[in-house]
Amino acid sequence: MPAVFHPHANLLAFLGFLVLIALLVTGIILWRLATAWPHGMGEPVQQPVPFSHKHHVRDDGIDCRYCHTSVESSAFAGMPPTATCMTCHSRLFTDAPLLEPVVDSLASGRPVRWNRVHQLPGFVYFNHSIHVNKGVGCATCHGPVDRMPLTWRHAPLTMQWCLACHRAPEKYLRPRERVFDMHWQAPSDQERLGRQLIQAYRVRVGEITDCSTCHR
């Protein structure tokens, strides 16, 4: 009686099973990266010093650029050196236990080791300055930081989330002079304003969805 199955049928079935598993795992990973699965959104990130944006930005009126000095000219927004903190705290609350890490940092010359709130994968290129200079407000990505006693992630920063803006930037752009305004509200004719700003700021709508824009 002839054999019903090929002599290597078991091996082929096993290899086919491995291929299916590999495809399934790859699909899950791609879905995980591309969809807006919340990555710790709304969860305050603990820091060595409980820095409050609410107090410094909303209550004291400190501009974002006072601490994040390179946000308009560099890919990295910049973190303030201890000396920046001590311009105020050499006089204010100098004996407060919460500020001991800052005082020790100034004395030792070792920077405070802050914990990152936003961590993009290594294969993603992001430039703060290009977004700021094209009219993307801080709050668009970072949320209402002026109301955060401890900073948390406001948006998922996934590929899908970023592409929503890159595909229709007119929905999100604001005048450059209002980029750092935490109280700015989009007008009722936002899309008309956005289209005007696209022209004024020379946003290359046809190019910003190219893969090489974010993956270099």
Q: What is the pLDDT of residues 25-80, one digit of tens each?
A: 888 777 666 554 556 788 999 999 999 999 999 999 999 999 999 999 999 999 99
Question: 130 and 179: one domain?
Answer: yes
Question: 193 and 173: one domain?
Answer: yes
The answer to the question of residue 33 being in a domain is no
Is the pLDDT at 133 greater than 60? The verdict is yes
Question: 163 and 201: one domain?
Answer: yes
Residue written as token pair 């940092």: 105
- How high is the pLDDT of residue 36? 47
The answer to the question of residue 20 being in a domain is no
Question: 198 and 145: one domain?
Answer: yes
The answer to the question of residue 35 being in a domain is no
- Dihedral over Cα of 135, 139, 140, 142: its sign: positive
Question: 106 and 177: one domain?
Answer: no
Question: 87 and 100: one domain?
Answer: yes
C-alpha span between 48 and 85 (Å, rounded): 14
Count Cβ atoms within 10 A of the Cβ of residue 192 and give its class: 0-12 exposed, 13-18 middle, 19 or more buried.
exposed
Question: 90 and 144: one domain?
Answer: no
Domain that holds residue 92: 81-113
Instruction: Spell 100-134 as b/e; 16+ CB within 10 A means b.
Output: ebbbebbeeeeebeeeebbeeeeeeeeebeebbeb
The answer to the question of residue 25 being in a domain is no
Question: 127 and 67: one domain?
Answer: yes
State both tokens at 202: 């020379």
State both tokens at 215: 């993956």
User: What's phi and psi for 16, nearest 5 deg?
Assistant: -65, -40
The answer to the question of residue 187 being in a domain is yes
Q: How many CB atoms lie within 10 A of CB 73?
A: 11
Question: 108 and 207: one domain?
Answer: no
Q: State the total domains in the chain.
A: 2
C-alpha span between 7 and 129 (Å, rounded): 63
- How high is the pLDDT of residue 189? 97
Average pLDDT, the chain: 90
Residue range 158-172: mean pLDDT, rounded = 95
Is the pLDDT at 124 greater than 90? The verdict is yes
Question: 146 and 160: one domain?
Answer: yes
Helix, strand, coil percentages, rounded to 5, for the chain: 45, 0, 50
Question: 171 and 103: one domain?
Answer: no
Question: 147 and 203: one domain?
Answer: yes
The answer to the question of residue 18 being in a domain is no
Q: Mind listing the pLDDT tens digit for each residue in 179-204?
A: 999 999 999 999 999 999 999 999 99
Residue written as token pair 């209002």: 178
Of the residues 63, 95, 113, the one at which a domain ends: 113
CB 89 within 8 A of CB 102: yes
